[in-house]
């Protein structure tokens, strides 16, 4: 079993897939009501601890953003996200006894065959790919017909998990 995580201090997406790439679990952990990074970490620790029953052997985590881009996150936000990513990485190592591998979002999308056209938001392309191609990821909608915020994180965690699965397959085919 392989765990893919899309880590955020607001909503963290988690997907477990088996050796064939079948989705076993796809969920989102809503952390928005917890104001402190340490309390958020405790909640994530409990969630990851509950995943032990799946016998996870590999963990792939979306790499936190490494640089500024105009109109995006501030230095404080990037720093907090990076700290939280490190904390969750450590929790995975401690609870699952697996050293997580980090993969960038763009590399993960590329491995999954998801191309992002210029000027289009990546989240929108990913969610459309999931809706069109991945029936095992349940997308729910608001009363206005938009995907719920948690669905984007669930979709992103599927991309990370599937990219991890493809990385593992590529490594094993080399030997």
Q: Is the pLDDT of residue 175 over 90?
A: no
The total of structural domains in the chain comes to: 1
Span 33-62, pLDDT tens digits: 998 999 999 999 999 999 999 999 999 999
**Two tokens, residue 112:** 């999954």
Phi-psi region of 139 (alpha: psi -120 to 50; beta: other; left: phi over 0): beta
Strand-pairing partners, residue 103, are 62
Range of the domain at 19: 2-173
Q: What is the mean pLDDT of residues 105-134?
A: 92
Confidence band of 135 (pLDDT split at 50, 70, 90):
confident
Q: What is the CATH number of the domain that holds 21?
A: 3.30.420.10
Residue 73 predicted with pLDDT over 70: no
**E strand or H helix at 143:** none
Average per-residue pLDDT for the chain: 90
Cα–Cα distance measured from residue 156 to residue 152, given in angstroms and rounded to the nearest whole number: 6
pTM, two decimals, is 0.89
Strand partners, 5: 14, 61
């Amino acid at each position: 079993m392989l765990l893919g995580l899309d880590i955020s201090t607001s909503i963290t997406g988690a997907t477990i897939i088996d050796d064939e790439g079948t989705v076993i679990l796809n969920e989102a952990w809503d952390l928005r009501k917890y104001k402190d990074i340490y309390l958020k970490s405790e909640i994530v620790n409990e969630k990851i601890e509950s995943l032990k029953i799946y016998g996870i052997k590999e963990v792939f985590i979306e790499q936190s953003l490494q640089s500024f881009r105009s109109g995006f996150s501030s230095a404080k936000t990037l720093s907090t996200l990076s700290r939280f990513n490190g904390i969750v990485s450590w929790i995975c190592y401690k609870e699952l006894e697996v050293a997580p591998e980090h993969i960038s979002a763009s590399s993960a999308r590329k491995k999954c065959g998801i191309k992002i056209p210029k000027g289009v938001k990546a989240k929108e392309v990913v969610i459309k790919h999931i809706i069109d191609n991945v029936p095992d990821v349940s997308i729910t909608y608001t009363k206005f017909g938009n995907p719920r915020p948690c669905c984007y994180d669930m979709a992103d965690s599927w991309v990370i998990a599937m990219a991890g699965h493809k990385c593992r397959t590529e490594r094993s085919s080399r030997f």
